[in-house]
Amino acid sequence: MRLWPSRTSQGCYHENVIKNESALLGPRAIAVASGKGGVGKTSIAVNLAICLAKMGNRVTIFDADLGLANAEVLLGIVPPYSLFEVLYKDMTLEEVAVQGPYGVRVISGGSGFLELANLDWSRRRQLLKMFNQFVDKDEIVLIDTSAGINKNVLGFVAAAEEVIIVVTPDPTSLTDAYALIKIMANFKLHAVVNVVVNRAADRNEAMCALGRISTATGRFLEIKISFLGWVPEDKEVLRAVRSQRPYYISNQHAPASRSITRIAEFLVGGNRIASGEGFWTKLMGLFS
């Protein structure tokens, strides 16, 4: 099942349900990006990962963010190694991965992703083989990207099979998200972009924020907006950040947790679009 926004008489959007079929296409790489920083990407990626894992999915978080409040911090784990050690210290991805709650695996990109550009052809092939062996065929890989619109973020957005753009109702967040979606549309990186509205006061505010993005993209860009859901402003989120314990674990009944459940159900219930090359192959190509 997939929800798509459609215009109401008030100019805001409500959801129509469209039926979809799922297909088995190998690991499902989903990049979480935003444009503006600090809107809740990491928080959503981490809690979504836990929720998806609790639902029985195998999940890996790729932390592609070099910032401070990254996925490891929110999970309260300290990965001693990163992709850098895989590239230069002959460690395997299994050795570098850290086991988080509910079997969620976390790989810290460290400065490793920046180093991909320096690899020669044989090293690249070797790494690709490692990635493909490490990730299960039906695994969900969530890539938590950093703030801003830069070459790195665009690389992950381009390589991932799907993209989740996190926005808040804040106008600057919407403008920055639009700028990112515009690049995606202009370079034909994706035909569809999933949007999550975070920190909304209520459903109406979330739908209005979505409406603003949908109106602008519908008018000027050739890309579809798929509404994945919304997460309310919830003090449980800040408490979780401070205690380094994801809110989906500490309070599964918190409003934010309930929203994450709906988003996760929606994600696994929706269909997937085959992207030809896999995520890793594309990523290597883009960073070469």
Question: Is the Cβ of residue 72 or residue 131 nearer to ligand ATP in the bound state?
Answer: 72
Contact of residue 91 among Mg ion, ligand ATP, none (CB under 5-8 Å per partner type): none
Q: Which is nearer to ligand ATP, 39 or 97 (CB)?
A: 39
Of the pair 7, 235, the CB lying nearest ligand ATP is at 235
111/6 Cα distance (integer angstroms)? 42
Residue 59 interacts with, from ligand ATP, Mg ion, none (CB under 5-8 Å by kind): none
Q: Which residues contact 238 (CB under 8 A, 6 or more apart)?
A: none
Q: Which is nearer to ligand ATP, 69 or 179 (CB)?
A: 69
Distance CA 151, CA 283 (A): 12
Q: How far apart are CA 52 and CA 260, in angstroms?
A: 9
Helices and strands, number each (H, E), in the chain: 13, 10
CB of 150 to ligand ATP, least distance (A): 12
Question: How far is the C-alpha of 86 from the C-alpha of 110, rounded, in Å?
Answer: 11
List the single partner that 269 binds among ligand ATP, Mg ion, none, CB under 5 to 8 Å by kind: none
Rounded-to-integer distance, Cα 225 and Cα 34, Å: 14
Closest CA to 162 of 6, 48, 18: 48
Q: Which does 34 bind (CB under 5 to 8 A by kind): ligand ATP, Mg ion, none?
A: ligand ATP
- Where does residue 37 rank: exposed (0-12), middle (13-18), buried (19+ CB within 10 A)? middle
- The answer to whether the CB of 167 falls within 8 A of the CB of 179 is no
Among Mg ion, ligand ATP, none, partner that 231 touches (CB below 5 to 8 angstroms by kind): ligand ATP
Please report, as ranges, the residues that interact with Mg ion according to CB under 5 A.
41-42, 65
Residue 85 binding result from Mg ion, ligand ATP, none, given CB thresholds of 5 to 8 Å by partner type: none
DSSP string across 23-85: ---S-EEEEEE-SSSSSSHHHHHHHHHHHHHHTT--EEEEE---SSS-HHHHHT---S--HHH
Closer CB to Mg ion, 86 or 153, in the complex: 153
Tell the smallest beta-carbon distance from residue 152 to ligand ATP (Å). Answer: 12
| Minimum distance, C-beta of residue 222 to ligand ATP, in the bound complex (Å) | 27
* Long-range CB pairs of 129-133, under 8 A, 24+ apart, other chains included: 130/86, 130/92, 130/93, 131/93, 131/280, 132/278, 132/280
Nearest Cα residue to 196 out of 156, 220, 169: 169
Cβ distance to Mg ion smaller for residue 66 or 130:
66
Minimum gap (Å) between residue 133 Cβ and ligand ATP: 29
Q: CB 39 → Mg ion: shortest distance, Å? A: 9
Minimum distance of ligand ATP from residue 187's CB (angstroms) = 22
Which listed option, Mg ion, ligand ATP, none, makes contact with residue 12 (CB within 5 to 8 Å by class)? none
Residues that bind ligand ATP (CB under 6 A): 34, 37-43, 65, 67, 69, 146-147, 198-199, 231, 233-234, 237-238, 241, 256
The residue (of 43 and 152) whose beta carbon lies closer to ligand ATP is: 43
Smallest distance from the beta carbon of 126 to ligand ATP, in angstroms?
A: 30
